Structure 1
C-alpha cells in the first residue's frame, strides 16, 4: 500500500558530488498516513551520464559522481513506481538541462515537481520555471505538453475566485499560443497522429484560459457546424461546442439543447450535454439542471450529468440550490444505484461550508453504507481541494508579484 518517495541530497566537494538517497512515504492530505518501508529499485542517469542501478531499502544509500552539477535524474525512463524529492543542489542541474532529457523523463520531472507542490514540499515557482524552460525550447512532445496543459488547467481551477486569475490565465496563454500556432486549427497533410491528438487539448486549454482569438474562432466554427456537421472534425466537435457554450446566448443554447434531446446515440448525447454544461449564465444553468432530469438523459447518467453542470459551470452552489429545490422529483428519475452518491457528487464540487454541513445533516447521507462512503469521500475531496486552493492562490500571488518586479 501507499506510494514510496525517494529523497535525493547532493553535496559537491573537491570536484565530485556525493548523493545520498533516503526513502519516506509520499502523501497528499493524509495526516494519519502510517510510515512504510519498501525495497525500491532505482534507476538513475541523465544526459551524458552513465546509468546507475540500485535497490534502496530502509538504510540510506550513497554514491559519488566524479563531477559537480550533474543532471542526475532518478526514475530514469519512468521505470519505477515512486515519487522523487530533490534538494536544491540536486535539482538545479536537472532544471537547467530539462530539455535535453528524453520526452518520458521531461514529463516525469514535471509530474514529480507538481506532486511535491501538492504534498507541500515544493514551490510552484520551480514548476513554472520548468514550464518556461520547455516552452522556450519549443516543446513538441505530446506527453510533455499534455502534462503541462493538465496542470495549468488544474491551477486555473484552483484560481477560481482569486483576483490573480486573469494574470495567471495570461501567463498560461503565453505558454500555449505558440503551440497552437505550430499546430493550427486544421489537420495538415502528413502530420503525425500525435499532433492530431494534441490539437483539441491545446484549443480547449486556451479557451479555458479565455484566449479571445480561440473563443472567437470556436464560435465561428460552431456556427458553420450547425449548418454543416461535416465541416468540423469529430475530435473538435466537443471542444468547439464546449467553448461556445461557455458564453452562449439563449437562442444558441436552445439549438444545442434540442440536439441533446433529439440525439438517440447515448454516448454522443452525453458528449453534447457535457458541452452544454459549460454554460455559465445562471438562467442557462437552471435550464441545464431541468434538462438533466427531463428524460433527455438516460436515468443511469442523470447523477453524472448534474455533477458535470456543477463542475463545468463553475457555479456548484447554484446547482446545489436548484437540485435541492427539485430533489424529490429528481430522485424519481434516478437509477437505484445512483441514489446514494447523488447529493455528495454535487456537494463535492463546492467549497461552501454551509453546503457541506447541509449534506452531512441530510438523512440520505447516512441512510446506507454506500451513502456514508460517498459523503465521506465528498468531504475529503473538498478538504484536500481547499488545501490546494489556499496553497495555489498564495503561491501564485507571490510568484506573479516577483515576475512584475
Structure 2
C-alpha cells in the first residue's frame, strides 16, 4: 500500500487543517559541494586525472606486484606528494621522463606514502611512474583470496573490496571519494583463469609460462573505492539490455544458477534508466558471485561483487522465497550505479546519500515488479531497528562528521541505511512521486561524474516539488534522535479535536541524565482508522490542534506507517485505538504495536499495556503483525536467560505462538513464497528456541527423513528445521551437521549446517565450534557469525567471550581491522550486566581507533539499557502472566 498525502493544507473530515509552526531551532543544510572544502586528509594541491595500472597477482605467494603510471595535475608547485598506501613496498618512484627516484616515506598510522623529489614539480600536468608490491589479504579488505570447495578439490579465487578506503591496499592512490579519476587496468594472470574488471576486456595476449596479459578499457571518472578486479576459474552468462551487456559471473559450473539474477538485472536496468532520466553509461554490467570473503555485496561500477548465496538461486537448495532477497540486493547495488557511482558523495559524512537512497530504491523496485511481496509492509522492521538505535544517547546524525577510516567503516549502520531509507520515503510521500522523481532526475543530470553533498539533493527536490524540503530534511539529517509525538483527543459536544505535541523519544537507563531536546519539522499523517489512502498531513514543528471527527472516533497518527517518529497516545485515544485494532490496516496495526513495545522499552508504559494489545491480535493476522510480536517476545526471552522468570515466560510465549502455528500446521498450503510459508518457518525457529517439545520432536523426525530423502523436506522449512535440530544436538547430530557442511559445495547449504552446529547448547559442542573457527575449514565470511551464534542461539556468551580474549591475536590475523573495531563491541551486547561492560572497556585492542572507541561506547549503552529493561520489565511480565493464569 502506498500512502498518498495531500499538501500541508489538507482536507480532514471536511475541515481545514491549520498548521502551527513554531519557528525555533531551525536547521540549515550545508553549502553545495566544493572540492577544495571537502573534508579529508590529503592535500588538494595535487589531483589525479588517470591511473594506468598493471598488476601481476600471485595467488601462491599472496603478493601483488604492480606498475602504475598516474597522470596528475599539480595546482601549486611542490616537491612533496602524499597519497595513500597500506602494506606496500616501493621499488621506484619517478616523475615525468626523469630517471631520478623520489625518496619514499611511509606512515603506517596515517596509511600514506610521501614522495619527495629533488626538484619541485611545477604547476601543471605531470606523470608519475610507481613500481610497487602490495599484499593479497586473508580478510575481505583490498585484494584478497577466497578458497572454496569444488567436486575436484579446493580452488582459490582472488577479488577486491575497497569501500570505504581500501584501494590503497591494492595500488598507491588518492583514496578519497572526491578525487575522481579514470582507470585503465591491465593484469597478467594464468591463461586458464578469467579476469573481470569495471570495463570490458579490449585485448588478451598470451605470454610465456602459461600466462596471459588482459587489458581493460578505461573507465569514466570515478572514485577509487569503486575499482574492482576478480580473477579465478569463472564462467559468465549474458544478456543485452538497452545497449548494455549484462552478465552474471560465477565459479565454473554455477553460472546457470544466476539466471534469475540476470533476468532481474535486465528489467531493473530499463526501469532505472527511465527513473533516473540518465542512461547507465558503461558498456557492460557484471554481477559477480564470490563464494566467500564478505557478506552482502559491493557496488563497484560495472562489476558488482556479491556473496555467492546472495546472488545465485538453485531450486534444489534454495527456498522459493530466496528470490526476494536476491532481487532486493541486486536492486540496491544497481541503484548505486547511479546514486553513488555516477554521482558520488564528496566525503563519508554524506555516506547516507549512497546507502539510504539505494535501500529505499530497492524496496520501491520490489513494489514495482513484485507487488505481491508487499515489501514495505513486510520490511517494516528495518525502520524499527533504526529507531531503536536512534533513540539512544550514542546515536549519530545521518550526516555525521567522519575523521578517519575507522570512523568511516562504522558509519555503515542502520542509521545510515534504514533511517536514510525511511526519511526518503517520507519525503517522497510529502512531495508526491512525480515531483520527487523529477527532482532526482535533475540532480542526476546536473552532477553526473561528479561529487555532491546532501544540500545539492535538497535543492533539486525543492525546485521540483515547490515545497520546503530543505528545512524538513535537514531537521532529520543534521541532528540525531527520534521525534516523539504525543497525541490525545478531547470532545467538545459531538465533535472531537486532536492535540499533537512534539518531543524527543529516548531509550536510556533509568538513572541516565536527560538528553537535550530536539526540534523537527515533521510531515504527520492523521486520520480515522482505515483511511490511509486519503490521509491528511500536517507539517508539525512544535504543537498543533486539528479536528478529529466525531467524539470517540478512533483517530490514528502516522497512518500507513510512513513517518519516522514514535507516537504516544493519551488515555482516550489509546482506548479508542485499542478497540479499533481489528479495523486497522496491517501497516497501521504493526505500527501501533511497534510504538506500544517501544514505549515499554523506554519506560513510558508498563509491559501489561503491550501484552494486552497482543491478546487482541487474532491467530489469523498477517505475517508482519506476528513478526513484530515475535521480535518483542524474543527480546524478553533473551533477557530472561538465567532468571527465575524464564520458565513461566517461555510457557506463555509458546502457548500464544502455538495457536498461530497450529492454524498454519507443518504442511499447510502455500506456494513456498507467500507470507504463510514464511511465517511458518519463523514460528518453527522461535518455538524451537523456546524449547517447545512437540516442535523439537517433529523437527528431529523431519530432519531424519531428510537425511534419507532430501526431497522430503521442503526448501522453505530447511533453515528452521536444521536450526532447531542444531540447538538440541548431541554429539552424533553435531557431527552429522558438520559432515553435511563439509561435503557441500553450495554456499547457502554450507552456511545452513555450520550455523546450526554453532547453535548447539551443549557446552562441549560449543567448545568444539569455537575451536573450529581457528582452523582454515571455516570460511572467513562466517567465522564471526559462528562465534556470535554460540553466544546467542547457543546461549554460551561467557564461553565465547573467554575464547575471544584468549585467541584474539589469531582471530585478528584472520579477520582484519573490522574484527577489532566492530565485532568485539557488537558481540558484547549479548550481555546485560555492568561487569561485562567494564570488561569490554578494559579490553585494550578495542580502544585502538576512534571508530573502535565509538563502538565500545555504543555497546556499553546497549548493555546498560538491557540491564534496565531486564530489571524493570521481567518482574512486571511475570506478575501479569501469573495474574492472567
Tell me which residue corresponds to 2:557: 74
- Displacement after TM superposition at 1:75 (Å): 0.9
Tell me which residue corresponds to 1:165: 646
Q: Structure 1 284/352 Cα, relative in aligned 2: closer, same or farther at 3 Å?
A: farther
Tell me which residue corresponds to 2:657: 176
Decide which of 93, 105, 113 is 2:596's aligned counterpart: 113
Question: For each residue in 1:324-363, what CA deviation from the matched residue of structure 2 results, as whole angstroms up to 9, or x when unmatched?
Answer: 3333433343345424334334333123543333332232
Question: For each residue in 1:258-310, what CA deviation from the matched residue of structure 2 results, as whole angstroms up to 9, or x when unmatched?
Answer: 22333333443223222222211111110111122222222343223212221
Secondary structure of 1:42's match?
strand
Instruction: Work out the CA distance in 2 between the residues paired with 1:225 and 1:340.
Output: 41
Contact 2:568 2:595 (C-alpha < 8 Å) held by counterparts: yes
Instruction: Work out the CA distance in 2 between the residues paired with 1:196 and 1:351.
Output: 34
Q: Structure 1 262/330 Cα, relative in aligned 2: closer, same or farther at 3 Å?
A: farther
Q: Note the aligned Cα RMSD (angstroms).
A: 2.4
Q: Structure 1 272/132 Cα, relative in aligned 2: closer, same or farther at 3 Å?
A: same
Secondary structure of 1:18's match?
strand
Decide which of 725, 733, 736 is 1:252's aligned counterpart: 733
Worse-matched range after superposition: 358-367 or 102-111? 358-367
Decide which of 374, 378, 388 is 2:859's aligned counterpart: 378
Secondary structure of 1:400's match?
helix
Tell me which residue corresponds to 2:350: none
Instruction: Work out the CA distance in 1 between the residues paired with 2:609 and 2:826.
Output: 34
Contact 1:25 1:36 (C-alpha < 8 Å) held by counterparts: yes
Q: Given the alignment of the two structures, is residue 400 of structure 1 paired with residue 877 of structure 2, yes or no?
A: no
Instruction: Work out the CA distance in 1 between the residues paired with 2:763 and 2:641.
Output: 17
Tell me which residue corresponds to 2:545: 62
Instruction: Work out the CA distance in 1 between the residues paired with 2:502 and 2:700.
Output: 51
Tell me which residue corresponds to 1:277: 758
Q: Structure 1 244/38 Cα, relative in aligned 2: closer, same or farther at 3 Å?
A: same
Q: Given the alignment of the two structures, is residue 126 of structure 1 paired with residue 605 of structure 2, yes or no?
A: no
TM-score relative to the length of structure 1:
0.91
Q: How does 1:285-300 map to 2 (within 5 A)?
A: 285-300=766-781
Instruction: Work out the CA distance in 1 between the residues paired with 2:671 and 2:772.
Output: 42
Decide which of 30, 45, 48 is 2:527's aligned counterpart: 45
Decide which of 233, 242, 245 is 2:714's aligned counterpart: 233
Q: Structure 1 183/298 Cα, relative in aligned 2: closer, same or farther at 3 Å?
A: same
- Displacement after TM superposition at 1:245 (Å): 1.7
Higher helix proportion (structure 1 or 2): 1
Tell me which residue corresponds to 1:34: 516
Secondary structure of 2:487's match?
strand
Worse-matched range after superposition: 84-93 or 357-366? 357-366
Instruction: Work out the CA distance in 2 between the residues paired with 1:125 and 1:24.
Output: 24
Instruction: Work out the CA distance in 2 between the residues paired with 1:91 and 1:27.
Output: 20
Q: Structure 1 265/192 Cα, relative in aligned 2: closer, same or farther at 3 Å?
A: closer
Worse-matched range after superposition: 203-212 or 94-103? 203-212
Q: How does 1:282-321 map to 2 (within 5 A)?
A: 282-321=763-802
Instruction: Work out the CA distance in 1 between the residues paired with 2:833 and 2:601.
Output: 21
In structure 2, the gaps of 5 or more residues are 1-478
Secondary structure of 1:274's match?
helix
- Displacement after TM superposition at 1:8 (Å): 0.9
Higher strand proportion (structure 1 or 2): 2
Higher Cα Rg, which structure:
2
Q: Given the alignment of the two structures, is residue 224 of structure 1 paired with residue 699 of structure 2, yes or no?
A: no
Contact 2:834 2:863 (C-alpha < 8 Å) held by counterparts: no
Contact 1:46 1:101 (C-alpha < 8 Å) held by counterparts: no
Tell me which residue corresponds to 1:83: 566
- Displacement after TM superposition at 1:189 (Å): 5.9
- Displacement after TM superposition at 1:11 (Å): 2.7
Q: Structure 1 16/335 Cα, relative in aligned 2: closer, same or farther at 3 Å?
A: same
Q: Structure 1 10/191 Cα, relative in aligned 2: closer, same or farther at 3 Å?
A: same
Q: Given the alignment of the two structures, is residue 324 of structure 1 paired with residue 805 of structure 2, yes or no?
A: yes
Decide which of 146, 151, 171 is 2:627's aligned counterpart: 146
Question: For each residue in 1:357-395, what CA deviation from the matched residue of structure 2 results, as whole angstroms up to 9, or x when unmatched?
Answer: 333223212223343233223222212222222222132
Contact 1:239 1:275 (C-alpha < 8 Å) held by counterparts: no
Instruction: Work out the CA distance in 2 between the residues paired with 1:106 and 1:154.
Output: 20
